[in-house]
Amino acid sequence: MSKYAPPIERLIKELARFPGIGEKTAARLANFILHESLADARRLAESIMEVKERIHLCRTCFNLTEEDFCAVCADPVRDRDVICVVQDPDALIAIETTGEFRGVYHVLHGALAPLDGIGPDDLHLQELLSRIDRQTVREVIIATNPDVQGESTALLINKILQHKNVDISRIAMGVPMGGDLKYTDRMTLGKALEFRRGM
């Protein structure tokens, strides 16, 4: 027998579907929503519906946007000769917050994960090739995550772009600023040596 009333049980079940949210956290969130005012709960429900109804993928780079083109693709001063390939919109936002990159992006919406059924056709790789064929691209920067799936995806992108007339680079990986070498894991330190640069 359930300890919650059916509407609360249903809300917990729906919240538990979110990634990283277990049943206990879902129950806490449901109780938080229950104790909020009706106006606050309505605002939350409306914001969820607004995202579902108004947000879609940019026609050029597949970033999330309200318009046909995202803010980056619509910016006339961005360098369209340089495309940074990222796994998801969160990675794009992380790079944008540095203020260091003035090119454009291509969002894959995932990485190779054969065990999860994600192959090359599930990523926006064909669209990347079409962009390179359609416009003048000088460099493609591969900025996938430094994990097994991200590395596999980077190797695949490198392979499919080998015969294109573009420079291919990979973001550097290694020791973070302020990091202490003696506490750095072996793989990170190995990547730092592999991607070393001149001074």
Tell whether the model's pLDDT for residue 136 goes beyond 80.
Answer: yes
Mean pLDDT of 75-92: 96
pLDDT for 132: 95
The separation between the first and the last C-alpha atoms of the chain, rounded to the nearest angstrom, is 67
- Which CATH number is 6-54 given? 1.10.8.420
**Angstrom distance (rounded) from CA 123 to CA 55:** 19
Is CATH 3.40.1360.10 the right assignment for the domain spanning 77-194?
Answer: yes
Asked whether residue 141 carries a pLDDT value surpassing 70, the answer given is yes
What is the pLDDT of the chain when averaged over all its residues?
91
How sure is the predictor about 199, in pLDDT bands with cuts at 50, 70 and 90?
low
Domain spans in the chain, listed from the N-terminal domain onward: 6-54, 77-194
What is the band of 2 on the pLDDT scale with cuts at 50, 70, 90?
A: low
- What integer is the mean pLDDT of 83-93? 96
pLDDT, tens digit, 9 for 90 and up, residues 154-193:
999 999 999 999 999 998 877 777 777 777 788 778 877 7
Over residues 25-81, the pLDDT tens digits come to 999 999 999 999 999 999 999 999 999 999 999 999 999 999 999 999 999 999 999
Q: For 8, what's the count of Cα atoms within 13 Å in the CB-facing half-sphere?
A: 14
Q: 1: exposed, middle or buried (C-beta count within 10 Å: 0-12, 13-18, 19+)?
A: exposed
The CA distance from 130 to 139, in Å, is 15
Residue 130's pLDDT band (boundaries 50, 70, 90)?
A: very high
Q: Is pLDDT above 70 for 1?
A: no
